[in-house]
Amino acid sequence: MIEYRNLRVAILGGGSVGAQVASLLIQHGDELAARAGAGLEVVGVAVRNLDAERSADIPKHLLTTDVESLILGADIVVELIGGIEPARTWILQALNSGADVITANKALLATHGPELFELAGQVGAQLYYEAAVGGAIPIIRPLRDSLAGDRVKRILGIVNGTTNYILDRMDTRGDSLDEALAAATALGYAEADPTADIEGFDAAQKAAILASLAFHTTVPLDLVYREGMSSITLDQVVAARKAGYVVKLLAICERLTDQNGVDGVSVRVHPALIPRDHPLAAVHGANNAVFVEAEAAGSLMFYGAGAGGVQTASAVLGDIVSAARRHVAGGPGVAESTHSDLPVLPISSVTTRYQITLTVVDQPGVLAGIASLFAEHGVSVEAVTQSVGTVSIRDGHDDAKPTATLVIVTHEATESSLALTVGALTDSPVVSSLVSVLRVEGLH
């Protein structure tokens, strides 16, 4: 029997992930010790309420409310309480005491990542966070290690399961947004206050983390452009299906050169159309997927459960084993790589394609007039589909006028040109309503 050195693991948080991590670490201790080359002893699980129900069995004697003593005696501290404070203070304490830290805390990493990585670097500790993005999906380690020799050009991610579940129900079952949200709430995907998911805040935090890692550049959360999906209607989803697209809430991180020749990165979260034959279109339910385009590797997709206690625990346990291996091997941890230090460019620098749906007065010259508004702002039209005479409008006079619905898909254009075009369309007397403007991604 091999005698392993023992490493003391402290878990902060006994919620759905924390309880599973503790329970699996205890159940599979021998196997994980053999993989890590060190014994992994759970020395305590810090909780707020010692008597609360747990989603997995944790021996009662391991539960404690004395977080600071638990941290001080640990080799590896696993932070699973979420939020900014006290998580930040406790992680700083753990690093300062010489422990390696594992966290699933996307909000903290997206807002205070540089502070935490700097301290980890100074003290020679490791800070691992595989579970912070995409739950069970291995994406942090592939970006940090497997693709360290390549250059990532773009990431398209479905990184929020709640919104994917809602949009998928709208697409596949014809639910309204409210019906689909009610179903997501009933299943426990959506919180009582679903704002963080629906308005894209959760996805923006994950996008900042992915972009920082992929582009070796610190991406502050406040430079991530964000639009939620609360204005997406069933009509838009149905029209997208007819046109061969599906609506997804995407996190898009890309390298780009702006109109002035400045190289930088752009990070954005918004609903977008993707072609139904794109691999991301096949991501159903509450699953997540991250589609990575790298210069040499080409396209890669990482897919799986983006949340869930036991699924997320899998990613945390992988980090614990990695941290333990480094304890055994010795040497400093892997420092965060921000050497590229690229500027984060504003949304106006982004170039993409758009689908614009308008109702217009159906009379000679209208289509030519609309086309000229696109041309005047340097936006090239790729395709126009027209359906005629479905509604009638009145323009203030008594006579009803026939209208047509135009669906216009553009070639690549800058956000700034598109915004000017949309402004001109809105002001045009022949446009009776601007039904929808959606970006089209995944066609490159």
Residues of this chain that bind ligand HSE (CB under 6 A): 160-162, 189, 197, 202, 306-307
Give 368's DSSP letter. H
Tell the smallest beta-carbon distance from residue 273 to ligand HSE (Å): 21
For residues 358 and 421, the answer to whether their CB atoms sit within 8 Å is no
Residue type, 384: V
Amino acid code (one letter) for 267 = V
Task: Of 299, 304, 239, give the one whose Cα is nearest residue 273.
Answer: 239
Cβ-based burial of 394 (10 A; exposed 0-12, middle 13-18, buried ≥19): exposed
In the complex with ligand HSE, the residue whose CB is nearer, 39 or 194, is 194
Question: Looking at beta carbons only, is 135 or 318 nearer to ligand HSE?
Answer: 135
Question: Counting runs of H as helices and runs of E as strands, what totals does the chain give?
Answer: 14, 17
Task: Determine whether 106 is an active site residue.
Answer: no
Write down the least CB distance from residue 289 to ligand HSE, Å.
Answer: 12
> Alpha helices, DSSP H only, in 126-281?
140-141, 161-173, 177-186, 195-198, 201-215, 234-242
Residue among 194, 152, 162, 201 at smallest CA distance from 340: 152
Nearer to ligand HSE, 100 or 202 (CB): 202
Least Å from the CB of residue 62 to ligand HSE: 25
Residue with Cβ nearer ligand HSE (274 or 289): 289
Q: Which helix or strand (DSSP H or E) is residue 432 part of?
A: strand 431-440
Nearer to ligand HSE, 189 or 374 (CB): 189
Contact 302, 137 (CB under 8 A): yes
Among the listed residues 153, 338, 406, the one whose alpha carbon sits nearest the alpha carbon of residue 257: 153
Q: Rounded to the nearest whole angstrom, what is the least distance from the CB of residue 44 to ligand HSE in the complex?
A: 25
Q: What letter would DSSP give residue 231?
A: T
Give the nearer residue to ligand HSE in terms of CB position, either 304 or 442.
Answer: 304
Of 60, 106, 153, 206, the active-site residue reads: 206
In 3D, which of 3, 107, 17 has the Cα closest to residue 317?
17
Q: Of 185 and 338, which CB lies nearer to ligand HSE in the complex structure?
A: 185
Residue 162, both tokens: 């709640």
Rg over alpha carbons for the chain, rounded to the nearest Å, is: 25
Q: How far apart are CA 221 and CA 438, in angstroms?
A: 23
Looking at residue 145, the DSSP 8-state letter turns out to be I
Instruction: State the minimum distance, in angstroms, from the CB of residue 165 to ligand HSE.
Output: 8
Fill in the amino acid letter for 376: E
- Residue (291 or 374) nearer to ligand HSE, CB: 291
Residue 361, strand partner residues = 403
**CA distances (Å), 373 to each of 59, 114, 406, in order?**
69, 45, 14
As measured in angstroms, the least distance from the Cβ of 282 to ligand HSE is 18
What is the C-alpha separation between 198 and 237, in angstroms, rounded? Answer: 16
Q: Which two tokens stand for residue 105?
A: 């805390």
**For residue 251, which of 341, 322, 161, 138 has the smallest C-alpha distance?**
161
User: Which residues are designated catalytic?
Assistant: 206
